[in-house]
Amino acid sequence: MRSGRLVAEAEHVVKALLLAAVSMLVGGVGVAVVLRRSQLRWTWALLGLPVAFEALGGDVFVPFALAGSSLLAAGLGAVWHRSDLHTGVDFAEAAHRRVGPRHILARMNAARRVDPRRSTHARHRSEGVAGVDPGRWRVGV
């Protein structure tokens, strides 16, 4: 009687692990392919790790599958990225053009900053400074 229950529980655990492994594999490869086709860097896949950490409250296998697929996608993307850089030509150019989360944050930060010299210069150019004709300004003098 007791051995029958242990076998059933072991079977349940094996099924859950197999399901998590298959979902990790399919999810990781799928995310890596989607990121590559969308011209996004492989580092975007790492954003799944905080999501997996937040999912820890429920089932144990869901966060395991989410974290595993995120790491697999990041690993595949990093390998493909490195291969593109080593291949060179158009592949390296495409690899350099891909945008990652760090690039987005840097762009957002740059957009919020205002360079007073640039805005002052633009204002002076449009209005003229102390009677000087803006069309007569020369760069580098």
Largest Cα–Cα distance of the chain, in whole Å?
101
- pTM, full prediction: 0.63
Average pLDDT over residues 46-63: 83
Query: pLDDT per residue over 94-116, tens digit each?
Result: 777 777 888 778 877 877 775 55
pLDDT tier for residue 124 given thresholds of 50, 70 and 90: very low
Helix (H, G, I), strand (E, B) or coil at 100: coil
What's the mean pLDDT in 78-84?
Answer: 87
Least confident of 15-19, 56-60, 121-125: 121-125
Rounded to whole angstroms, how far apart are CA atoms 114 and 116?
A: 6
Domain spans, the chain: 2-128
What 3 state SS string does 25-90 have? HHHHHHHHHHHHHCCECHHHHHHHHHHHHHHHHCCCHHHHHHHHHHHHHHHHHHHHHHHHHHHCHH
